[in-house]
Amino acid sequence: MTRIGVLLSGRGTNLQALLDQVHGADAEIVCVASDKEDAPGLRRAREANVQTRTFPVDSFADRDARDAAIADWLEEERVDIVVLAGYMAILSPQFIARFPDRVVNVHPSLLPAFPGMRAVEQAVEYGVRVFGVTVHLVDDGVDSGAIILQRAIELPEMSDPTEVHQLLQGIEHELLPEAVRLMARGAVSRDPANPRRLIVAP
């Protein structure tokens, strides 16, 4: 079965969606790592008997050393796919190079609009009326990798980022497991005619 490693920094509701919908069925979540020692998401992993490890940046010489240690652990655990489920640090190009086209991220906007931090706040401040979620492969840029799945939601009257984010999280909890299932099945490939584009087999 496809082996998944998850990185998170926060509550871990996306990890929970993966545990509930994918784990033990389409793929196995074998380990969960966090840059934050107090990330509540780690508890969800432990409750599901998934091993966890924390990699606080101040325990390493620098960010690259931290990322190398995370990559070493994921390789030791023979992880096939790395899922960033609310992982709020940027990974080094060396990390990405060790898992080419095998790192998946969920982002609460319709990329390429509003990459980076505070995506929902940015979108609300901008005054958009259509919000959305993107699940994409991670490359060296910030939220710039090829898109696996996207879903939009019209919220023309909403101006509270917290409320918008809550609605988007409902979408994330469907879209991320679906994307991970597709990846695990080998249904996602690069379009030879345009490598920016992914072909997603039904």
Distance CA 146, CA 167 (A): 24
5, 41, 132, 161: residue in contact with ligand GAR (rule CB under 6 A): 41
- Count, residues near ligand GAR per rule CB under 6 A: 15
Distance CA 143, CA 147 (A): 10
Structure tokens at 200: 């997603």
Interaction of residue 34 with ligand GAR, rule CB under 6 A: no
Is 173 catalytic? The answer is no
36, 66, 107, 136: residue in contact with ligand GAR (rule CB under 6 A): 107
Binding region for ligand GAR (CB under 6 A) out of 57-65, 90-98, 104-112, 147-155: 104-112
Binding region for ligand GAR (CB under 6 A) out of 11-19, 25-33, 58-66, 180-188: 11-19
Q: Which is nearer to ligand GAR, 74 or 132 (CB)?
A: 132
**How many C-beta neighbours within 10 Å does residue 96 have?**
21
Binding region for ligand GAR (CB under 6 A) out of 5-13, 49-57, 60-68, 95-103: 5-13
Given a contact cutoff of 8 angstroms between Cβ atoms, the answer to whether 48 and 29 are in contact is yes
Report long-range pairs for 153-160 (Cβ below 8 Å, ≥24 apart). Answer: 154/129, 154/130, 155/129, 155/130, 155/131, 156/129, 158/124, 158/131, 159/124, 160/124
Q: Which is nearer to ligand GAR, 119 or 149 (CB)?
A: 119
Distance CA 16, CA 44 (A): 7
In the complex, the residues that contact ligand GAR under the rule CB under 6 A are 8, 10-14, 41, 85-86, 106-108, 119, 169, 172
